[in-house]
Structure 1
Amino acid sequence: MKLRNLFSAGRALALAGLLAGPAARAQQPRELPQLPRPLTLPQALQVAQDNYPALRSRQAALRAAQADVRTNRATFLPQVTAQAQMLNATVNQVRGAYVPGVVPSESGSVKATGPDGRTNFSSLGALVIEWPAVTFGRYRADESRSQAAVSAAQADLDQARFEYQAQVADAYLMALAGEKAVALQRANLARALALATVIKAGTRSGIRPGIDSATANAEVARARLQVLAARQQARAQRTRLAGLLGQPTQEVQLDSMAFYTHLPQTAAGPPAGDTARANNPLLRAYSQRIALSDAQTKLYTANKRPSLNLLASTWGRGSGVHDATDDKGNFVIDSSPGAGLPFKAYDYMAGATLTWRLTELVHSGRAAQAQRIRTEQARADYDQQALQLATQLQNARLQVELAQQTALAAPAQLAAARQAYTAARARYDAGLDNLLVLTQATEVLNRAETDQALATNNLWRAVLLQGAASGSLGGLLGQL
């Protein structure tokens, strides 16, 4: 009994899986391509640009703004309306006016005798062409506003792409720093293992005291812990980089340690003044917002003006109500479809209408005034961002100078530490020094190697910081 219930439950689960399969597949995110292995920095920037949802959102906003331009252009094309109708309705009419809306218009004509319940067929076909031929600047103002919206959307996309490239580049350099730290700690562990092997052999032969062997084992254990800590930090940095690339579940394999083979060239800095502001993506985005607000103000001002529409129409009508009347003065009504559906009368008209909404002068004037205030706000935001970027650029230049001085001084420290380690190892092997001196020399060498790698990485990151503040990463990417 339990086995049969188990099979029944299994079939139910299988059926539920088949039914939910299409919906589950529909909710899955789009499949992303595998990351290049190894991954270079330019490749990382391209992958981030293609995959990150925030950038795809800005790209969609740009396409929507471009579509709005085409939509606005279509509103100023001639409007062509075709209409055809067929009705079967009563012909009761009474004299007098009424407000159209809920009550439809009646078919037929007023009769001399009282109303009755007879019906007749009627038909109508019409073609109407209406064109806003002269808008007194409204069309150009609307076109300019649409183009300004496209420029603003493009500037927002460029700003988001640039800021994101800076984040990805910094994450890439941090991941490289983590990989370099792992390599250095592995080298330190290899030195500790090699020394421990020699010391153990000397201890077994009675040349070295037993405390040296215990100390060497402790140094090996400490070196292993340092390797594990470096691996943990490196994995965290690779995960951060993979998340910025839009693929947090994939393992990132970095290109190489080429960044540590040479120091980057440091430029004097970007041009100052208006040229630097024009080239900065962030300031361009704020500048386009000002332009968009100005274009909106001009559109509100143009709405005050009249519009001249050209109108042409032709139509035909058919009705079961005959033109002739009977002896009592009533129109003769034929209720058959053949009498009411064919067109009997044809008309046409052509003309122009000049429309000027006088109350729009007040409404559009106040809207334009409010938009001018928004433009002032956009200019203030632009000035604030320009001030912040100038401060960041000055700070970045100081960071580059300090990092360059540190990177140039680090090799001397590393050379001295290697020399000290070589001398301490030689003296220890010759029995002229104890293990404590050699251990201290090893720590100094490990710290010097770490400082050298950190100084080189910090200089690359300082160059990146300067490029991010100036609005161009060409100084960094051009050296790869």
Structure 2
Amino acid sequence: MICLHPRWFYLLCLLAFLPGLSVTLAQPLTLEGAVEASLSQYPTLAAQRAAVEALRANAQVVRDNRLPNVRLHSQTNVGTANGLSGSYFSLGLIVPTSGARRADNSGNLATGNIALASADWEVFNFGRFAAEDQLIRAEVAVGEAGLEREQFDLRQAVIGAYLDVFWAEQTRRIEGQNLARVDTVRQIISNLVRNGIKPGLDSSLANVALSRARLAYLRVEEDYERARVQLATLTGRPLEQIQIDTAFRPEPLLAPVLAPASTANHPLLRVGERLVIRQTTEIDLIRKSALPRLSLLAATWARGTSLDVENNFGPLGSGLAYSRTNYLLGVAATMNLMDLKRAGSRVRLQQFRVEEARNQLALGQVQLQNSLSTADAQLTVLQRQLTELPSALRSAQAAYAQRLSLYNNGLETILGLTDALTLLTTVEKEAVQTRTQAVQLRLQRALATNDFAAFYTLFRR
């Protein structure tokens, strides 16, 4: 039988109740993981998806509007029945009365009963229904392209925030190393000053350098925390869980620049392409909306009245039964001649919108191609700078070590040592800045081609 110490027993119980907690805390956030987390939960994408679903649902709304109108109506009335010859526009305000013409107005009451069923169905309109369906499909396609563009923009924002954290952490590491070196130098100088080997001024200058190094580190720390907050907002994770993977492979930065890639089928262009189709489709709908419409009409009704055939007032109860029935069938053609004029004006307006959409698409194509060409040209030059970085770093480190050794032996001044220390820190920061610029150009190329596979390899272990 194995006996566990109570401390180990409590630890095992904690791990049993919190499965995966240690894994979550220990596993850093990768670049691709940050992108996937944002794409799965970010509110703007959810809103865009809902908008696309609304466009799809609108297609069913339009189809339902084409169903035949079938109306049922029944009423029972009591009132006077005095008729008079003449015509008028009712305007929905005058209640129609059907009764005999009499010499005098009568206050006698008559009852009436009427039931009505009518239907009308637009069965043919020279392709307007088909044009409406095509327009709806084009609008759904524009919405889907907008969702893809939103995903593309969000991916770009997440990668940018991730890189801000990554490079801020690199700079923070350099400032931390610089702070440690300055502190080491200060301690050496303080010992030399106490022993009377170096003047007190050197100690004062060392303290100033230490304070400046601390301030520089705190400024970088502020930038680092700000970048973490932005990344936490985009990924939907608590700030305390934002610990990125620091893996970085600089070798792909030196790979030869590939031949100019194609920017076709890009999410930013796809929106413009589908918008051109959508605007062009609406022209067809405008023209067909002005064409005649053929409808089937049908109605049947039954009626009763307490007036007899001689228009004499009978018992009120006799008007509650139906005594006459009728039906009517017909075909109606409807056309508003002025719609032709209105359609012509709307078509001209829509043609300008099509031209606008095409010009915007052409501008987007030029901008993407220009971004790709610029990235390729700058990468070619920047790669030469990257090849010089190792040599520059080694030289700066060697210079600092030599100046420190000379200072310890009394052969160098504090100013020379400070210059060497400043030079080393400057070269380290320049190395980070050069790599930052190279990575940014690789990202610019990935954004222009919508191909992130090669870019992601820079941050894979």
Is TM (by shorter chain) over 0.5? yes
Q: Does residue 68 of structure 2 align to residue 82 of structure 1?
A: no
Q: Give the structure 2 partner of residue 122 of structure 1.
A: 112
Q: Does residue 400 of structure 2 align to residue 418 of structure 1?
A: no
Q: In the aligned structure 1, how far is the partner of 2:411 from the partner of 2:454?
A: 52
Q: Give the structure 1 partner of residue 272 of structure 2.
A: 286
SS of 1:301 mapped into structure 2: helix
Shift of 1:115: 2.6
Q: In the aligned structure 1, how far is the partner of 2:56 from the partner of 2:358?
A: 25
- Equivalence map 1:5-404=2 (5 Å): 38-49=28-39, 54-112=44-102, 114-241=104-231, 253-259=242-248, 263-264=252-253, 268=258, 271-272=261-262, 276-277=263-264, 279-319=265-305, 321-325=306-310, 330-336=311-317, 339-404=318-383
Once the two structures are overlaid, the 10-residue window that deviates more, 49-58 or 439-448, is 49-58
Q: In the aligned structure 2, how far is the partner of 1:119 from the partner of 1:176?
A: 92
Shift of 1:138: 0.8
Tell me how large the CA RMSD over aligned residues is: 3.1
Query: Contact 1:280–1:472 (CA<8 Å) still a contact in 2?
Result: no
Q: Give the structure 2 partner of residue 436 of structure 1.
A: 415
Q: In the aligned structure 1, how far is the partner of 2:199 from the partner of 2:132?
A: 91
Once the two structures are overlaid, the 10-residue window that deviates more, 363-372 or 458-467, is 363-372
Q: Given the superposition, is the C-alpha separation of residues 45 and 76 from structure 1 closer, same or farther in structure 2, using an over 3 Å criterion?
A: same
Q: Give the structure 2 partner of residue 469 of structure 1.
A: 448
Q: Given the superposition, is the C-alpha separation of residues 42 and 346 from structure 1 closer, same or farther in structure 2, using an over 3 Å criterion?
A: farther
Summarize deviations over 1:4-63 as a string: whole Å, max 9, x none: xxxxxxxxxxxxxxxxxxxxxxxxxxxxxxx99954433443454466555455444323
Query: Contact 2:186–2:210 (CA<8 Å) still a contact in 1?
Result: yes
Q: Given the superposition, is the C-alpha separation of residues 354 and 405 from structure 1 closer, same or farther in structure 2, using an over 3 Å criterion?
A: same
Shift of 1:315: 2.8
Shift of 1:147: 1.0
SS of 1:196 mapped into structure 2: helix
Summarize deviations over 1:63-119 as a string: whole Å, max 9, x none: 332232222222222222222333333222212222122433334421545331233
Q: Given the superposition, is the C-alpha separation of residues 429 and 252 from structure 1 closer, same or farther in structure 2, using an over 3 Å criterion?
A: same
Q: Given the superposition, is the C-alpha separation of residues 182 and 355 from structure 1 closer, same or farther in structure 2, using an over 3 Å criterion?
A: same
SS of 1:259 mapped into structure 2: coil
Q: Give the structure 1 partner of residue 20 of structure 2.
A: none
Shift of 1:260: 6.5
SS of 1:96 mapped into structure 2: coil
Shift of 1:299: 0.5
Q: In the aligned structure 2, how far is the partner of 1:235 from the partner of 1:84?
A: 74
Summarize deviations over 1:187-214 as a string: whole Å, max 9, x none: 1111122232233234334454444333
Q: In the aligned structure 2, how far is the partner of 1:266 from the partner of 1:71?
A: 55
The one-letter amino acid of 1:197's match is Q
Q: Given the superposition, is the C-alpha separation of residues 151 and 267 from structure 1 closer, same or farther in structure 2, using an over 3 Å criterion?
A: farther
Q: In the aligned structure 2, how far is the partner of 1:104 from the partner of 1:335?
A: 24
Q: How many residues align?
A: 435
SS of 1:466 mapped into structure 2: helix
Shift of 1:153: 1.9
SS of 1:99 mapped into structure 2: coil
Q: In the aligned structure 1, how far is the partner of 2:101 from the partner of 2:214?
A: 110
Q: In the aligned structure 2, how far is the partner of 1:127 from the partner of 1:408?
A: 88
Once the two structures are overlaid, the 10-residue window that deviates more, 90-99 or 122-131, is 122-131
Q: Given the superposition, is the C-alpha separation of residues 211 and 391 from structure 1 closer, same or farther in structure 2, using an over 3 Å criterion?
A: same
Q: In the aligned structure 2, how far is the partner of 1:79 from the partner of 1:374?
A: 35
Shift of 1:386: 1.8
The one-letter amino acid of 2:308's match is D
The one-letter amino acid of 1:258's match is A
Query: Contact 2:161–2:227 (CA<8 Å) still a contact in 1?
Result: yes
Query: Contact 2:35–2:158 (CA<8 Å) still a contact in 1?
Result: yes
Q: In the aligned structure 2, how far is the partner of 1:221 from the partner of 1:113?
A: 115
Q: In the aligned structure 1, how far is the partner of 2:256 from the partner of 2:49?
A: 33
Q: In the aligned structure 2, how far is the partner of 1:37 from the partner of 1:342?
A: 84
Q: In the aligned structure 2, how far is the partner of 1:267 from the partner of 1:315?
A: 82
Q: Given the superposition, is the C-alpha separation of residues 197 and 366 from structure 1 closer, same or farther in structure 2, using an over 3 Å criterion?
A: same
Q: In the aligned structure 2, how far is the partner of 1:432 from the partner of 1:256?
A: 44
Q: In the aligned structure 2, how far is the partner of 1:474 from the partner of 1:121?
A: 84
Q: In the aligned structure 2, how far is the partner of 1:83 from the partner of 1:37?
A: 71
Query: Contact 2:283–2:351 (CA<8 Å) still a contact in 1?
Result: yes
Q: Given the superposition, is the C-alpha separation of residues 83 and 254 from structure 1 closer, same or farther in structure 2, using an over 3 Å criterion?
A: farther
Q: In the aligned structure 1, how far is the partner of 2:213 from the partner of 2:241?
A: 25
Q: In the aligned structure 2, how far is the partner of 1:477 from the partner of 1:299?
A: 46
Q: Given the superposition, is the C-alpha separation of residues 472 and 93 from structure 1 closer, same or farther in structure 2, using an over 3 Å criterion?
A: farther
Shift of 1:290: 0.9
Q: In the aligned structure 2, how far is the partner of 1:196 from the partner of 1:186?
A: 15
TM-score by length of 1: 0.80
TM-score by length of 2: 0.83
Gaps of 5+ in 1: 1-34
Shift of 1:343: 3.4
SS of 2:308 mapped into structure 1: strand
* Percent identity of paired positions between Structure 1 and Structure 2: 27
Query: Contact 1:282–1:471 (CA<8 Å) still a contact in 2?
Result: no
Query: Contact 1:266–1:400 (CA<8 Å) still a contact in 2?
Result: no
Shift of 1:298: 0.5
Q: Give the structure 2 partner of residue 7 of structure 1.
A: none
Shift of 1:303: 1.9
SS of 2:67 mapped into structure 1: coil
Query: Contact 2:85–2:101 (CA<8 Å) still a contact in 1?
Result: no
SS of 2:100 mapped into structure 1: coil
Q: Does residue 428 of structure 2 align to residue 449 of structure 1?
A: yes
Q: Given the superposition, is the C-alpha separation of residues 341 and 429 from structure 1 closer, same or farther in structure 2, using an over 3 Å criterion?
A: farther
Query: Contact 2:252–2:458 (CA<8 Å) still a contact in 1?
Result: no
Q: In the aligned structure 1, how far is the partner of 2:390 from the partner of 2:347?
A: 64
Q: Given the superposition, is the C-alpha separation of residues 128 and 185 from structure 1 closer, same or farther in structure 2, using an over 3 Å criterion?
A: same
SS of 1:258 mapped into structure 2: coil
Shift of 1:255: 0.7
Once the two structures are overlaid, the 10-residue window that deviates more, 60-69 or 430-439, is 430-439
Shift of 1:420: 2.2
Shift of 1:318: 3.2
Q: Given the superposition, is the C-alpha separation of residues 60 and 36 from structure 1 closer, same or farther in structure 2, using an over 3 Å criterion?
A: farther
Shift of 1:134: 1.7
Q: Given the superposition, is the C-alpha separation of residues 188 and 219 from structure 1 closer, same or farther in structure 2, using an over 3 Å criterion?
A: same
